[in-house]
């Protein structure tokens, strides 16, 4: 298949808003893929590189984008994938220069449409609505199989790629079965903003402590126990204490989902980075185990003694978990009462955890999906920040300025320090307003980025502050989203970088001291 076909499919998917239209466009493209192209096409159209990171930086990509493009499409999908694989393999002295030349060569063979697709693919900004469940349904439509069958197989396989290869090349899915020592893709949670509103929408729900630990999936068959990471890598050798804990449970066969935490003597959790220090590949395992023991907290049970439970209602899975591993089950409260939910939320914070999870008691375990069945709620901060730039949007936001570059005021220099970007929380009316506003404030354009005079104050909600080498202040906001524009505030009244640093220090002290 010509790479141009994939790029045009991406454009088409981005240009339509209805889910069914996206699925149809994707399915039509998937049907045309050759036997060796299925995994590549599914990955690219999902906004993902099979190679993972290939070492291409922003500067190299900017230079490649200015290479004169081809007038006629000749690149095939497999040629693009082979070129990216070669780039990922370059290492050692001079590798960045070689990679830069290879990237420029690839862009020189690409048409304008293909180059645009490549840029968004390589920077991870292919926002076209073809992720997760949409792609699963597209594979189902293209292959003539049911979406449930594709979804179940992808869960068992750990990702969609091998399932897509089988389905799109006429193979069956019989080999994709839940089994011990075949890790499943983990179910994911959807962020939510308000505890009371979420509980009102869900009704009676299971509330659990939101842990900031290492996601683990533990499989047991007799005395053989293996621990898998969030990415489904076998990490048993690094965490023998977790394996021993599960080995001591009475059930003969188990698949457990949960998190591992390093705890202080008072039972409060260490910071996430401390826990993750136990998962290194070159550690003295016995020494680190003595110095930093891990405690498992399981929140789901997917298989026990030959019975698969992932399709059972969560209420049944939670009950079975507490019978099979009561000493390691995450603290949970089942309630529909807002007062009780608020009290549980406050208890989670007092005990040093991030917040709470809210789970639908009738929900199935849907691997890899961020659905409404699992919600995560954490206390949100707000800051009044300055818009430094805005990016032209894609898909339904095409033609409107969307992604905002956010900055805090530096009271010592009068400049503004960038803290990250966000395109979340914007209504259609807000998008229309800010497109006009920022064009009026424009200082200049750099590609798809419009730099603006630092005058507009915007109120931003966010969950926490994290260290980041990507921004000059060394800090970035996590899960930032727009609440409203503050036309009542001048730029010199915006929050300062000192305030952001104070929040970061407070969170670090909380993580060390177990108080949020």
Instruction: List, in sequence order, every beta strand (DSSP E) within 193-289.
Output: 205-210, 214-221, 224-229, 253-262
Q: Are 47 and 124 in contact (CB under 8 A)?
A: yes
Q: Are 60 and 96 in contact (CB under 8 A)?
A: yes
Distance CA 212, CA 275 (A): 9
Q: How far is CA 20 from the centre of its chain?
A: 24
Distance CA 179, CA 213 (A): 25
Count of CB atoms situated within 10 Å of the CB of 452: 24
Q: Are 220 and 212 in contact (CB under 8 A)?
A: no
Count of residues for the chain?
516
Q: Are 112 and 69 in contact (CB under 8 A)?
A: yes
Distance CA 3, CA 75 (A): 6
18: annotated active-site residue: no
Distance CA 5, CA 30 (A): 10
N-terminal to C-terminal alpha carbon distance within the chain: 54
Distance CA 54, CA 86 (A): 9
Q: Residue 297 pairs with which residues in a beta bridge?
A: 259
Burial of 469 (0-12, 13-18, 19+ CB in 10 A): exposed
The active-site residue, picked from 22, 100, 141, 210, is 210
Distances (CA, A) of 68 to 101, 104, 170, 272, 340: 14, 9, 40, 46, 63
Distance CA 201, CA 197 (A): 6
Nearest CA among 161, 174, 195, 188 for reference residue 300: 188
Q: Are 362 and 206 in contact (CB under 8 A)?
A: no
Structure-token match 């998190």, residue found: 259
Distance CA 226, CA 223 (A): 10
**In three state form, how does the secondary structure of 431-488 look?**
HHHHHHHHHHCEEEEECCEEEECCCCEEEEEECEEEECCCCCCCEEEECCEEEEECCC
Output the six-digit token pair for 425. 């929380």
**DSSP result, 92-150:** STTHHHHHHHHHHHHHHTS-HHHHHHHHHHHTT---SS-STHHHHHHHHHHHT--HHHH
- Which amino acids are annotated catalytic? 210
């Amino acid at each position: 298949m010509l790479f141009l076909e994939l790029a045009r499919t991406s454009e088409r998917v981005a240009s339509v808003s209805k889910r069914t239209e996206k699925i149809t466009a994707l399915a039509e493209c998937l049907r045309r893929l050759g036997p060796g192209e299925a995994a590549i096409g599914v990955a690219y159209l999902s906004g993902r590189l099979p190679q993972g990171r290939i070492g291409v930086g922003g500067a190299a990509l900017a230079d490649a984008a200015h290479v004169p493009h081809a007038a006629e499409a000749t690149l095939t999908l497999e040629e693009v994938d082979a070129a990216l694989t070669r780039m990922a393999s370059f290492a050692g002295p001079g590798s960045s220069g070689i990679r830069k030349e290879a990237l420029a060569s690839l862009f020189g063979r690409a048409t304008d449409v293909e180059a645009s697709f490549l840029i968004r693919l390589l920077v991870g900004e292919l926002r076209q609505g073809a992720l997760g469940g949409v792609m699963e349904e597209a594979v189902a439509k293209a292959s003539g199989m049911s979406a449930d069958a594709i979804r179940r197989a992808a869960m068992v396989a750990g990702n969609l790629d091998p399932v897509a290869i089988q389905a799109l090349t006429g193979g069956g899915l019989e080999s994709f079965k839940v089994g011990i020592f075949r890790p499943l893709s983990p179910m994911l949670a959807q962020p939510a903003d308000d505890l009371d509103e979420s509980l009102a929408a869900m009704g009676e729900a299971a509330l659990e402590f939101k842990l900031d630990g290492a996601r683990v999936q533990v499989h047991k068959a007799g005395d053989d126990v293996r621990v898998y990471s969030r990415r489904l890598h076998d990490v048993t050798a690094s965490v023998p204490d977790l394996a021993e804990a599960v080995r001591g449970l009475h059930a003969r066969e188990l698949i457990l989902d949960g998190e591992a935490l390093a705890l202080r003597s008072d039972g409060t959790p260490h910071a996430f980075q401390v826990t993750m220090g136990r998962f290194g590949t070159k550690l003295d395992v016995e020494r680190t185990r003595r110095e930093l023991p891990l405690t498992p907290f399981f929140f789901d049970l997917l298989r026990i003694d030959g019975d698969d439970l992932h399709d059972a209602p969560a209420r049944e899975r939670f009950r079975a978990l507490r019978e099979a591993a009561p000493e390691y089950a995450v603290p949970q409260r089942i309630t529909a009462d807002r007062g009780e939910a608020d009290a549980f939320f406050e208890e989670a914070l007092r005990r040093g955890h991030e917040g709470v999870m809210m789970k639908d008691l009738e929900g199935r375990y849907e691997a890899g999906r961020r659905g409404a069945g699992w919600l995560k709620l954490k206390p949100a901060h707000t800051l009044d920040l300055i818009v430094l730039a805005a990016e032209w949007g894609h898909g339904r936001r095409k033609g409107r300025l969307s992604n905002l570059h956010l900055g805090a005021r530096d009271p010592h220099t009068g400049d503004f320090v960038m803290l990250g970007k966000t395109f979340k929380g914007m209504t259609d009316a807000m998008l229309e307003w800010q497109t006009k506003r920022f064009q009026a404030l424009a200082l200049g354009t750099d590609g798809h980025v419009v730099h603006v005079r630092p005058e507009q104050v915007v109120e931003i909600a966010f969950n926490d502050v994290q260290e980041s080498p990507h921004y000059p202040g060394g800090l970035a906001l996590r899960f930032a989203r727009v609440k409203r524009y503050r036309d009542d505030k001048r730029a010199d009244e915006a929050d300062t970088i000192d305030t952001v640093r104070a929040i970061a220090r407070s969170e670090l002290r909380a993580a060390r001291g177990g108080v949020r």
